Structure 1
Amino acid sequence: MRKWHGNPWAILITLSLGFFMTLLDLTIVNIAMPSMIEQLHASLDEILWVINAYVLILAVLLITAGRLGDVRGQRTIFIFGVATFTVASLLCGISQNPTELIAARCLQGLGAAMLLPQTMAIIVATFPPQRRGAALGVWGAVAGVAAIAGPTLGGFLVSAFDWRWIFFVNLPVGVVVLIAAFTIIPSVKQERSHRLDLGGVLIATAALFCLSFALTEGQRYDWNIWIWLLGAASILLLVVFLLQQRTQQENEPLVPFSLFRDRNYTILNFIAAAVSVGMIGMFLPLTIYLQSVLGYSALKSGLVMAPMSVISMFVAPFAGRLSDRIGGKFILMGGLTLYGIGMAWIVLIAEPTTNWPAFWPALIISGLGVGCVFAPMATEAMRGIEPRMAGAASGVYNTIRQIGSVVGSAAMGAILQNQLASSLQHEANVRAGQLPAQARGPFLAGVKNAAKGGIEVGAGQSGADKSVPKNLPQEVAGQIARASKAVFDHGFVTAMKPTMALPIVVVLVAALSCLVMKRYVRQPEAQPTETVEAGA
């Protein structure tokens, strides 16, 4: 590979492969949730922590890792990140219980945090300004494809092999990226010295942990006073963090406030967080709906959502090149709007008996939207950033985007569980009258207990059939099992619709915020007058 050493496009491919792994693991886990719940004997709450642990560590350490790249060199930290991520993927795949899996996901998040901000910083350092937009467009397109490809690839792996293969698949990719990083990527270490703001790291870590724990565990603890205190503590710590960062502006803070003097960069940080809420928020309830309500396998669930991935894959490169020519403001706005419309369409038609072809028109529209989101979003965010600030800008941008993922997954989990608790009880009350008198009380108690303890989504049942007497006639037992399935199916759909309203509204608000962006005016290319005169 020596002939490829330093080649900009070979570097971009290497960075994109590493970037793809980290983002794929944000969504690929969702499709395997029912399988992991069943095989690891885990609760929904524990599996939500399998998702949130990764996102939490990633979000907390992104800015720190970006600064560390300035200190030790982006190539060095990128290589360490890929190696850590690859080893952690192996540990995830061989985990024997939820605790081991959550711990391995934390390590995986550490590796992702180290490698991810280096990708954008190395791109900015490698490509000249006139080609940087196209390169960041490819980088952004990879983000979009990874976000959507997770359910399809995950569905195939879970169905053909086992849920563990959603992690094992990272191993060959990680090895290839490591070899390419050593042989292709040159060192881009900055000459001037830097320091890490350790105080800022600690405060930000505490704030994010309090927020994520409160949102994820709220339903389990009945939203008691301690949960609300954790939420209040996260807000207080955020205020302390901003005040602390204000005092550090002359000493290389974690968040240089000067970055936000660029209006587009500021707006696009908000949009990036909103897109994360919209993407992560959509996949959680939709994945459970396809598998546990409609009864599809993991592979079929992934194939049902495949049109969105395929369409976005083809659209994204064109959106990136077009953004480099005319600017990404209205391309991004149109993409967000299309994605929101597609998701709203799915919510409207989703019922316990909806057949899969009915979803494809909505998913095609969503795929067109996703293809027009990630490339222009990355291009416009970094367009006005000076190369010397690329590391800090990349760290802040990706951190805020991942905070959106933390809030999105945690909030959606909390809202979904809260909605399920009430909708299942309502459905049980409706159907209990159709059961024999001796089964009604235990049936209702079973639904109530299942709702309080975290719904066993993988089973596709309300849990009521586990609490009725075992010595009932076979006909009555079958009647109870059918009632339990109906309670879950109708209760989940009832809970899913208002839950999915949150990401749809957030995405549409992000689309409207594009109106505030400054429109890009392409500057005419400078004529090589000096060269002509020198030649004359």
Structure 2
Amino acid sequence: MTGKLNIEQANSSAVSDLFVVIIAGIGLLLSTLDTGIINVALPTLVHVFQSSLTAMSWTITLYTLALTGTIVLFGRLSDHYGHLTIYVLGLILFALSSMLCGIAQSVSELIAFRILQGIGAAMLQATSAALITTIIPESRRGPALGTLGILLGLGPVLGPSVGGTILSMVSWRFIFFINLPIVAVALFGCRRLKRIVQEKRQDVHLNVAGNVLLSFSILSLLLSLSAIGDATLVAILLFLLFALLIGGFTLRELRISSPILNLKLFRNRQFALAMLAVFFFGGATSIGFIVPPYFLETVRHLSAWQSGLVNLSAPLGLMGFSRLSGKRLGQVGAKRLMGIGLTVMVVAYGVLSQMGVAWSPLLLASLLFVYGAGAGIFVPANLSAIMGAVGRETQGTIGAVQRMVQNLGIAIDTAIAVVLIRMHSGVGSEGLMVGFRAAWGYAAGTLGLTLLLFAWLAIKVRLRQRV
């Protein structure tokens, strides 16, 4: 086929759905892969640069800050200039910053280049879902979103294992260089997509002031969370700054004609609940990656690789059920699938909240797999509900907001889990178990609250239909 297609008319004869999903999913894979890889490499980097763990941890913190603080801006820019255009620029920046990280000669250089990498990751995460929802027709979108969920689950699975393998075989620099061939494959695919589909530029107001307010408010919140426990006064002041900035952002967005996100969407209870659900889902999933290694290595005295195998269970469950959920979207509906997914996750974490010292790794792995299965059912349905709430002209923005909300849930619940564990860390294994059970119970409670709200809304709708 030689001519270009309008992006709204792309069909399977021009480009396969799977091809689009893989190219779009590479961005999500890269951005999540790099967090897990560098987590494993922190001790090595501390030794190589003769630095401290506190200083080196900024390579993770500032990457996350740059990603979360700028993601909505790039979602907005992609709606204006084209999702594929911003995605390609994100791939280029991610590759360039990865190369710079790999040749860094000092801690300050590595931190600076990781900030650039976080910005590149924001460009990729902001546009991945929008590429699928604007290129693939709605009738075939469910399976595509299910496959995207699989790629999303691959990052946490591959990060630690790939990072550990690289560190054991070659230089630490290759944990960054490994991104380059993956980006090359994605750029080749994007080149093909550009030949086939033609994106329409949308007449979207960029709203620079609103983006600045939102970015700085998110940065303030994340910095306040990172200061909890070490600098309480600083954490409080930063949280107050966040409250001031987010309040100013909200007031401004309600008054202008071209807001970043139409806040009136939250009057739609289904949309508001879908956003609340992805926030709590992000947080609950982060607890699933924090508590098991701590329990297995501190209480059960397993090695790091054995602990890593157990932690693979949840992502494997997510990958296994995401495709199935996507295929069932058209028949069952997003609301019902979200409810089923939430139910499964609440049950799994509810049982985990009763965790005991003598629990076997196999039992823990089984419950994590069940949670992952619920997550796999939930993710495609949630993404479909949120992306379907707005028109084609703001798919990039809404996709970026969805990822930002999930990342905020991860950051907040990570801080809460660390605090709960620290509170009981000085009183032996039984004390630690109290902290672990509290973390699982908190996550189950937040997901359960969301499930109850979904059930209440469903009952209310049925009562209205009867009347």
Matched, 1:236 2:244: yes
Q: Which amino acid aligns with 1:514?
A: F
Which residue of structure 2 lines up, in the alignment, with residue 511 of structure 1?
451
Which residue of structure 2 lines up, in the alignment, with residue 216 of structure 1?
226
Relative distance call for 1:192 and 1:361 in structure 2 (3 A) is closer
Which residue of structure 1 lines up, in the alignment, with residue 8 of structure 2?
none
Instruction: Please tell me whether the aligned partners of residues 356 and 433 of structure 2 are also in contact (alpha carbons under 8 angstroms).
Output: yes
Matched, 1:313 2:319: yes
- Distance across 2 between alignment mates of 1:505 and 1:161: 44
- Distance across 2 between alignment mates of 1:105 and 1:502: 32
Which residue of structure 2 lines up, in the alignment, with residue 475 of structure 1?
none
Relative distance call for 1:491 and 1:188 in structure 2 (3 A) is farther
Q: Which amino acid aligns with 2:215?
A: T
Alignment of 1:43-54 (within 5 A): 45-46=54-55, 49-54=58-63
- Distance across 1 between alignment mates of 2:157 and 2:369: 12
Instruction: Please tell me whether the aligned partners of residues 150 and 320 of structure 2 are also in contact (alpha carbons under 8 angstroms).
Output: no
Relative distance call for 1:496 and 1:396 in structure 2 (3 A) is same
Q: SS of the residue aligned with 1:349?
A: coil
TM-score (normalizing by structure 2): 0.83
- Structure with larger Rg: 1
Find 2:179's aligned residue among 148, 170, 176: 170
Instruction: Please tell me whether the aligned partners of residues 81 and 115 of structure 1 are also in contact (alpha carbons under 8 angstroms).
Output: yes
- Distance across 2 between alignment mates of 1:317 and 1:409: 28
Cα drift, residue 67 of structure 1:
1.5
Cα drift, residue 515 of structure 1:
2.3
Instruction: Please tell me whether the aligned partners of residues 293 and 311 of structure 2 are also in contact (alpha carbons under 8 angstroms).
Output: no
- Distance across 2 between alignment mates of 1:163 and 1:413: 28
Alignment of 1:54-453 (within 5 A): 54-95=63-104, 99-154=108-163, 156-157=165-166, 166-185=175-194, 186=196, 188-221=198-231, 223-224=232-233, 226-248=234-256, 250=257, 252-291=258-297, 294-346=300-352, 348-349=354-355, 351=357, 355-416=360-421, 418-419=422-423, 423-424=425-426, 426=427
Q: Cα deviations across residues 71-126 of structure 1 (Å, max 9, x unaligned)?
A: 32221110110121223334444556654444333222101111222222222221
- Distance across 2 between alignment mates of 1:181 and 1:263: 37
Instruction: Please tell me whether the aligned partners of residues 62 and 116 of structure 1 are also in contact (alpha carbons under 8 angstroms).
Output: yes
Q: Cα deviations across residues 40-76 of structure 1 (Å, max 9, x unaligned)?
A: 6666655654433222222221211011112322211
Relative distance call for 1:158 and 1:286 in structure 2 (3 A) is farther
- Distance across 2 between alignment mates of 1:203 and 1:334: 37
Cα drift, residue 407 of structure 1:
2.2
Q: How many residues align?
A: 450
Unaligned residue ranges in structure 2 (runs of 5+) = 4-12, 462-467
Q: SS of the residue aligned with 1:190?
A: coil
Q: Which amino acid aligns with 1:105?
A: R
Cα drift, residue 342 of structure 1:
2.9
Q: SS of the residue aligned with 1:242?
A: helix
Cα drift, residue 322 of structure 1:
1.0
Q: Cα deviations across residues 173-231 of structure 1 (Å, max 9, x unaligned)?
A: 1121111111234554434433321211221222122212222112112x23x332221
Cα drift, residue 278 of structure 1:
1.1
Q: Which amino acid aligns with 1:210?
A: S
- Distance across 2 between alignment mates of 1:171 and 1:513: 44
Q: SS of the residue aligned with 1:193?
A: coil
Relative distance call for 1:508 and 1:170 in structure 2 (3 A) is farther
Cα drift, residue 491 of structure 1:
6.2
Return 100-109 or 140-149, whichever deviates more: 140-149
Moved segments of 4+, more than 6 Å: 1-5
Q: Cα deviations across residues 126-176 of structure 1 (Å, max 9, x unaligned)?
A: 122222233223223432444455455555555666766554433321121
Relative distance call for 1:233 and 1:513 in structure 2 (3 A) is same
Cα drift, residue 28 of structure 1:
4.9
Return 140-149 or 324-333, whichever deviates more: 140-149
Relative distance call for 1:419 and 1:348 in structure 2 (3 A) is same
- Distance across 2 between alignment mates of 1:342 and 1:514: 19
Q: Which amino acid aligns with 1:513?
A: L
- Distance across 1 between alignment mates of 2:337 and 2:238: 39
Q: Which amino acid aligns with 1:227?
A: A
Cα drift, residue 264 of structure 1:
2.5
Instruction: Please tell me whether the aligned partners of residues 123 and 135 of structure 1 are also in contact (alpha carbons under 8 angstroms).
Output: yes
- Distance across 2 between alignment mates of 1:168 and 1:492: 39
- Distance across 2 between alignment mates of 1:498 and 1:45: 27
Instruction: Please tell me whether the aligned partners of residues 287 and 301 of structure 1 are also in contact (alpha carbons under 8 angstroms).
Output: yes
Return 115-124 or 260-269, whichever deviates more: 260-269
Instruction: Please tell me whether the aligned partners of residues 156 and 302 of structure 1 are also in contact (alpha carbons under 8 angstroms).
Output: no
Instruction: Please tell me whether the aligned partners of residues 74 and 188 of structure 1 are also in contact (alpha carbons under 8 angstroms).
Output: no
Q: Cα deviations across residues 224-273 of structure 1 (Å, max 9, x unaligned)?
A: 3x33222112112111110111222x1x2222224435433222111111
- Distance across 2 between alignment mates of 1:355 and 1:41: 38
CA RMSD of superposed structures (Å): 3.3
Instruction: Please tell me whether the aligned partners of residues 204 and 393 of structure 2 are also in contact (alpha carbons under 8 angstroms).
Output: no
Q: Which amino acid aligns with 2:151?
A: V
Instruction: Please tell me whether the aligned partners of residues 202 and 393 of structure 2 are also in contact (alpha carbons under 8 angstroms).
Output: no
Q: Cα deviations across residues 333-385 of structure 1 (Å, max 9, x unaligned)?
A: 2323323433454454353x755334232223223222212111112222343
Unaligned residue ranges in structure 1 (runs of 5+) = 428-488, 522-536
- Distance across 2 between alignment mates of 1:61 and 1:373: 26
- Distance across 2 between alignment mates of 1:7 and 1:216: 43
- Distance across 2 between alignment mates of 1:319 and 1:199: 39
Instruction: Please tell me whether the aligned partners of residues 36 and 160 of structure 2 are also in contact (alpha carbons under 8 angstroms).
Output: yes
Q: Cα deviations across residues 289-339 of structure 1 (Å, max 9, x unaligned)?
A: 444555544433221223333333222111111122111323322323323
- Distance across 2 between alignment mates of 1:339 and 1:34: 33
Instruction: Please tell me whether the aligned partners of residues 59 and 114 of structure 2 are also in contact (alpha carbons under 8 angstroms).
Output: yes
- Distance across 1 between alignment mates of 2:103 and 2:293: 24
- Distance across 1 between alignment mates of 2:103 and 2:458: 49
Q: Which amino acid aligns with 1:23?
A: T
Identity score, percent: 25
Relative distance call for 1:348 and 1:192 in structure 2 (3 A) is closer
